[in-house]
Every structure is written in structure tokens, then in C-alpha cells.
Amino acid sequence: MKILVPVKRVVDYNVKVRVKSDHTGMDIANVKMSMNPFDEIAIEESVRLKEAGVATEIIAISCGVAQCQETLRTAMAIGADRGILVETDVELQPLAVAKLLKAIADREQPSLIILGKQAIDDDCNQTGQMLASLLGWPQATFASKVVVADGKVSVTREVDGGLETLSLTLPAIVTTDLRLNEPRYVTLPNIMKAKKKQLDNLKPGDLGVDVTPRVKTLKVVEPAQRSAGMIVPDVATLVAKLKNEAKVI
């Protein structure tokens, strides 16, 4: 069973990003970039499926600038067998990424595609759903448990008020939630081994996909500054303040 795992290069989650002075976007020049955390969970899950003898090959895919190669090398150090870079300098939006991934899925014929539930830079939470629609495959988003058996994948999802378990017929799309697993640390020997793994380089044109953005960002602004809070000594004071000062009760 072949698994595709799309991995996005994003600003590291520890970086506090700033809005550019001309309000056209975020200033990400010279900031640390890493693999989207939900994609690390997706790679880890697919490696566990391979270790359990369920999967035979894991292919990591990244779409974007040439430096996405580093993200693919990390995915291969965790355990992906090979990588595909779809290289472009165009700002990619979820629909464009979903079309690129569909074209690769048509070529590679995987049984499972595991994506992150969302990228922590754009917070779109769209690519997996769009890809499922383009391929006409079943999808289970926000997975906290994945079990593959008998041509089906059983996915436990975190939903409001509890857990829901779905059974999907393969091929299928799964998107990861935070509690699915804890990704392993990448070891130096595995980083060295990853350098020798196959990494193919494609352009969107090779896949026949037009990645021109469809959505235009008009303006990006910082959230309004919040005024400082205060600690009240007891409940009576809190109630008095809510009644007399905030006038909300």
C-alpha cells in the first residue's frame, strides 16, 4: 500500500511573525521555517503504518519554493521513502495545491493520502477536503486514530461533544489532528540516510496545473491591542465589577 503525505514548509510555530509595514502580508524574511506540525504527525502516522507492515511506500510531496526540499529531507529523515517537490515561486492557495496533489495521485495511484488538518500559516483547513472532492474519494478529517484493515480505513475523529468513528473504503483521504500521535525525533544517522533518498523535481506545468492565485489579499493588520487584565481578590468583587463596571450582568 502506497501512502502520499503532502508536507508544507511554514514559519516555525515558535516564531512571532509581524505584519509588513505596507500591510500586504506577513514579514517572513529571515525567519526560521519548519515542516507544518500537522504534516509531521501525518508522516509519523504513515511511518507507523509502514512499520506495522500495512504500508509499503511513503511518498512525501511539497509544493512551493526550492527550499521546500529541506522540508522533504526532514520527512525522509522521519521515514518517508522518497520525495516530490513541485517547485514554483507563485504563492500557492489551497485549490492550486489540491490540483497539484490530484495530478500526482493520478500518477502514483496511492491507497491513502494523509494531510495535516491545516497549515499553521494560512490556517485554511481546505486542501484535504478540496483534494477529496477533486479525486472523488471518501475523506475523514481531524483524525485522532487511524486503523487500516481489509481495504478500509477506520478513522476516529474529534468532533464537538465527543469522538466519531468512520469507516472509509480505500483509496481515501485522511487529515490529522494533534492527538493522533507524537512525532519521533529525527536522528543524525537518519538525516544522513535521507540525503541519499530519491527526490524528484517537477514544475506545475509538468502536471498541467495552472496555479494562478484565485483569492487576492486586500490588507493584513495586527489584531487590536488588548488592555491589561486584573486579578480580583474574591468572587464578590468579581460579581460587583461585572455588575457595576462592565455592566454585563
Instruction: Please report, as ranges, the residues that interact with ligand AMP according to CB under 6 A.
Output: 6-8, 36, 38-39, 61-64, 92, 94, 97, 115-116, 118-119, 122, 124-128
Q: Shortest Cβ distance from residue 21 to ligand AMP (Å)? A: 26
What residues contact residue 25 under an 8 Å CB cut-off, 6+ apart? Answer: 19, 217, 220
Q: Given the complex with ligand AMP, which of 148 and 211 has the nearer CB atom? A: 211
Q: Given the complex with ligand AMP, which of 28 and 241 has the nearer CB atom? A: 28
Q: Shortest Cβ distance from residue 10 to ligand AMP (Å)? A: 9
Beta bridge partners of 27: 18
Per-residue CA distances from 121 to 25, 54, 150 (Å): 11, 32, 37
CB 68 within 8 A of CB 33: no
- Nearest by Cα to 33 from 70, 87, 60, 75: 70
Q: Given the complex with ligand AMP, which of 6 and 204 has the nearer CB atom? A: 6
Q: Given the complex with ligand AMP, which of 8 and 50 has the nearer CB atom? A: 8
Q: Given the complex with ligand AMP, which of 132 and 168 has the nearer CB atom? A: 132
Q: Given the complex with ligand AMP, which of 97 and 168 has the nearer CB atom? A: 97
Per-residue CA distances from 4 to 17, 23, 62, 168, 216 (Å): 30, 36, 11, 17, 30
Q: Could you give the count of Cα atoms lying within 13 Å of 86 in the half-sphere of its Cβ? A: 28
Q: How far apart are CA 228 and CA 230, in angstroms?
A: 7
> What SS3 class is residue 38?
helix
241 phi and psi angles, rounded to 5 deg: -70, -40
Q: Shortest Cβ distance from residue 106 to ligand AMP (Å)? A: 17
Q: How far apart are CA 175 and CA 157, in angstroms?
A: 10
Q: Shortest Cβ distance from residue 99 to ligand AMP (Å)? A: 12
Q: Shortest Cβ distance from residue 83 to ligand AMP (Å)? A: 11
Q: Which residue sits closest to ligand AMP, CB atoms considered?
A: 116
Q: Shortest Cβ distance from residue 179 to ligand AMP (Å)? A: 16
